[in-house]
Structure 1
Amino acid sequence: MLPGSHRASGLFDDDALVRAMLDVEVAWARVLGSSLSLGDWVPSLDPVEVEAAGNPVLPLVSALRAKVSDPVHTGLTSQDVLDSAFMLLARNAVARVSADLTRVGTALAALAAEHRSSVMAGRTLTQFAVPITFGLKAARWLVAVLDSSEELATVARGLPVQCGGAAGTLSRVADPGAAAAFAAHLGLAWPGMPWHTYRAPVTRLGDALVRVCDGLGVLAADVLTLGRPEIGEVREGFVAGRGGSSTMPQKRNPVLSVLVNSAALQAPGLGAQLHLCAARAVDERPDGAWHAEWPALRALLELAVVASSQAAELVEGLEVHADVMARRASEAAGELLAERGGGTDPAAYLGSAEAFVDDVVKRWHAWNSA
């Protein structure tokens, strides 16, 4: 069991995928003129049959045809069903991530405004640089959240249905509007032609999720650094039972930051796997590249959902020790003000830091109220 996986419980497991595939089959049946409704029925698929078919669609269709007399699946191919089902799972994931990014952004905007003028030591290449404010640091984190939120909103609007039949020609469907109707039933987009071997919808989604994890990873890594005992400028909020050690009773480990940082380290590899699969999507239907895409996409969706939820909790409970920041900046004034030519008051050398904070917070409130 991966730490935090309960935060994505039921979103991406096999049952969720089967339910999504059923939604796809029902939507297509209605395009064909049926009023098919399955209620809560979800078949249990035999893993041996799934292996024999190479994917779970054929066993699902067999179970469906054994249950109903309505025409189902006619004109579709397995990739139509599975790709469309993954887009439904992705839509749920993006909604969850977006909601948690809103929580993160709201908390960061409040921190940025509160600490707009809270002086701290700026650091570059691990060494003291010039003075900054903690509000500026929070505003930098917030920009990443804003950019990710905007990108996810664009991706969500364009999540496409897959509808091409055996080789992407919809050869068994006479109605040229069937694909668009299919998309409308599922609440997905119809991009104008099938994308069996053009995997940009998947890589675009993956890239957006990786960038979410990138931004949250910077936040988590900063908290881990600033929360070291010898620095002590921030600290994760206390939650009973969290952060304990199996051997050292005095420890209060920054668990949320560690896990979000871990997600940020895993996400780029999963995104790269999606691009590798996209580059090998040959012929009219891929011979393994498509299959290698599924576990990477599921893992990345889960990772982003879990990390964004953990990041929201982390930021909402973050303890900021502005007094420690101010004291350290004062003690290091000689180094922090060297660029200026000397001085003793770090607060007198903040440049446009406060104006930058104001601009980012204003942008957040405009986005959040749109």
Structure 2
Amino acid sequence: MADLFWPGDERAGSHFTTEDFLGAMLAVEEEWLGAEVGWVVDAHDVALEAESGGNPVIPLVKRIRETYPNAHRGLTSQDVVDSALMRMAESAVTTLRRDLATVVRRLADLAEAHRDTPMVARTLTQHAVPTTFGFRVAAWLTAVLDADDDLARLAFPQQLGGAAGTRAAIVELGREVPAGVPRWHTTRAPVTRLGDALAGCTDACARIANDVVTMSRPEIGELAEGSGGGSSTMPNKANPTLSVLVRRAALTTPQLAATLHLAAAQQVDDRADGGWHAEWATLRDLVRRTLVAASQTATLVADLRVDADRMAATLAAAGEAVLAEQRSMTDDPAPTYFGDAGAYVDHVVARAKGSLG
């Protein structure tokens, strides 16, 4: 869906929309009932009535029991909401990993193509020693691969605990719960781990975007976005818009993940009084912003323009300063001073290809 407050939000598709949430809750109720009912419920009406009970399950159950009076028996609202959130999260992470795979594939190609393309390394914003653009890309790629590894380790458990986690009503009804289904009403690791993994993705995407923003400055000119954004007043400008929008996400997602941890720390008794409620919209924003950032990063790297000649010229213009460390090591300096940059690129590219199967 388009969002004037978050340009590009439509890239997240239907993930974690109101309709997605309603559909996931209905799917949980159908699964518990053991029947594909195909309930038609108006999300707007449910949302309007959710305030009185503090969550959307209460008005939802009221509607579905009009046709199936035994629906929801044994469950509590948190069982339905948590299970629905995990269903939505699993679907969103599948889409997210698909976009990250696109980024990985493109970065692996770039790293190989520029394995030996010389440029000047910069540390604390200043020229340091010679490096290669392939080595820089391998650093980008490592961050993306690490983020994807964290996503791959996530679990998306159902929630089946009943009113206070004891499953009392479920037992009284003689219902069997599948082995291994946890009770995590007040132990929120599935949510905080998800939040951390999502924030890690925007960290990795921003690692790329930050370099593109810097290296596309006119006075550097070593990189450029494929089709930079325009300006409302200066038609000659080609702003690194995608990079700016990816950075925007990375500036906001850590706080969202922190909110999930704060909510987890505020758990109390056997069902929380507000900590649980704080998670839903927080997860929505975190998931959608991460999806948007990953999609924008895929577009960014797909169309990235690399000016190898400009990189070489900048390195040459740096002169003897970039060889100072080398000369302190040997009286007979080699013509290049790249250390084992090439071997590192090869290692990371091999890891990337292995992750892609």
TM-score of the two chains, using structure 1 as the length reference: 0.91
Q: Which structure 2 segments of 5+ residues have no match? A: none
Indicate yes or no: 2:267 matched with 1:263. Answer: no
Q: Which whole-Å CA distance do the structure 1 matches of 2:167 and 2:152 have between them? A: 30
Within the candidate set 269, 285, 291, 1:299 is matched to: 285
Question: Match for residue 42 of structure 1?
Answer: 41
Question: Match for residue 205 of structure 1?
Answer: 194
* Gap change, CA 1:344 and 1:141, over 3 Å in 2: farther
SS in 2 for 1:348: coil
Within the candidate set 170, 184, 201, 1:195 is matched to: 184
What is the Cα deviation at residue 245 of structure 1?
Answer: 0.8
| CA displacement 1:102-134 (0-9 Å, x = unmatched) | 000000000000000000000000001111100
- Matched pairs, number: 349
One-letter amino acid of the counterpart of residue 14, structure 1: T
Indicate yes or no: 2:87 matched with 1:88. Answer: yes
Asked if 2 retains the 8 angstrom alpha-carbon contact of 1:43 and 1:63, the reply is: no
Indicate yes or no: 2:167 matched with 1:179. Answer: no
| CA displacement 1:34-77 (0-9 Å, x = unmatched) | x34216x23333444111110100011111111x2362110100
* Gap change, CA 1:315 and 1:358, over 3 Å in 2: same
Q: Which whole-Å CA distance do the structure 2 matches of 1:300 and 1:202 have between them? A: 11
Indicate yes or no: 2:315 matched with 1:329. Answer: yes
Within the candidate set 228, 233, 237, 1:251 is matched to: 237
Question: Match for residue 186 of structure 1?
Answer: none
What is the Cα deviation at residue 294 of structure 1?
Answer: 1.3
| CA displacement 1:284-313 (0-9 Å, x = unmatched) | 000011111111111100011100000000
One-letter amino acid of the counterpart of residue 20, structure 1: A
Q: Percent identity?
A: 48
* Gap change, CA 1:333 and 1:153, over 3 Å in 2: same
Indicate yes or no: 2:16 matched with 1:12. Answer: yes
What is the Cα deviation at residue 178 of structure 1?
Answer: 3.0
What is the Cα deviation at residue 193 of structure 1?
Answer: 3.0
Question: Match for residue 123 of structure 1?
Answer: 122
One-letter amino acid of the counterpart of residue 340, structure 2: S
Within the candidate set 308, 330, 341, 2:294 is matched to: 308
Q: Which whole-Å CA distance do the structure 2 matches of 1:178 and 1:220 have between them? A: 50
One-letter amino acid of the counterpart of residue 225, structure 1: T
Q: Which whole-Å CA distance do the structure 1 matches of 2:142 and 2:201 have between them? A: 11
Question: Match for residue 153 of structure 2?
Answer: 154
Question: Match for residue 224 of structure 1?
Answer: 213
Q: Which whole-Å CA distance do the structure 1 matches of 2:264 and 2:88 have between them? A: 19
SS in 2 for 1:212: helix
What is the Cα deviation at residue 173 of structure 1?
Answer: 1.4
One-letter amino acid of the counterpart of residue 65, structure 2: R
What is the Cα deviation at residue 344 of structure 1?
Answer: 12
Asked if 1 retains the 8 angstrom alpha-carbon contact of 2:46 and 2:60, the reply is: no
What is the Cα deviation at residue 10 of structure 1?
Answer: 1.7
What is the Cα deviation at residue 333 of structure 1?
Answer: 2.9
* Gap change, CA 1:165 and 1:346, over 3 Å in 2: farther
Q: Which whole-Å CA distance do the structure 1 matches of 2:242 and 2:334 have between them? A: 32
Asked if 2 retains the 8 angstrom alpha-carbon contact of 1:337 and 1:346, the reply is: no
Give the CA RMSD over aligned residues: 1.8
What is the Cα deviation at residue 176 of structure 1?
Answer: 8.1
Q: Which whole-Å CA distance do the structure 1 matches of 2:69 and 2:145 have between them? A: 47
* Gap change, CA 1:259 and 1:46, over 3 Å in 2: same
SS in 1 for 2:121: strand
Asked if 2 retains the 8 angstrom alpha-carbon contact of 1:198 and 1:278, the reply is: yes
SS in 1 for 2:229: coil
277-286 or 70-79, larger mean C-alpha shift: 70-79
Question: Match for residue 368 of structure 1?
Answer: 356
Within the candidate set 25, 30, 51, 1:21 is matched to: 25
Q: Which structure 1 segments of 5+ residues have no match? A: 182-189
* Gap change, CA 1:177 and 1:151, over 3 Å in 2: farther
Asked if 2 retains the 8 angstrom alpha-carbon contact of 1:131 and 1:329, the reply is: yes
Q: Which whole-Å CA distance do the structure 1 matches of 2:149 and 2:229 have between them? A: 33
One-letter amino acid of the counterpart of residue 147, structure 2: S
Q: Which whole-Å CA distance do the structure 2 matches of 1:180 and 1:139 have between them? A: 44
Q: Which whole-Å CA distance do the structure 2 matches of 1:119 and 1:171 have between them? A: 67
10-19 or 46-55, larger mean C-alpha shift: 46-55
* Gap change, CA 1:129 and 1:172, over 3 Å in 2: same
Asked if 2 retains the 8 angstrom alpha-carbon contact of 1:333 and 1:346, the reply is: no
What is the Cα deviation at residue 80 of structure 1?
Answer: 0.5
Q: Which whole-Å CA distance do the structure 2 matches of 1:12 and 1:293 have between them? A: 13
Asked if 2 retains the 8 angstrom alpha-carbon contact of 1:113 and 1:357, the reply is: yes
One-letter amino acid of the counterpart of residue 156, structure 2: L
Asked if 2 retains the 8 angstrom alpha-carbon contact of 1:112 and 1:139, the reply is: yes
Question: Match for residue 184 of structure 1?
Answer: none
Asked if 1 retains the 8 angstrom alpha-carbon contact of 2:326 and 2:333, the reply is: no
Q: Which whole-Å CA distance do the structure 1 matches of 2:174 and 2:318 have between them? A: 71
Question: Match for residue 165 of structure 1?
Answer: 162
Q: Which whole-Å CA distance do the structure 1 matches of 2:322 and 2:175 have between them? A: 66
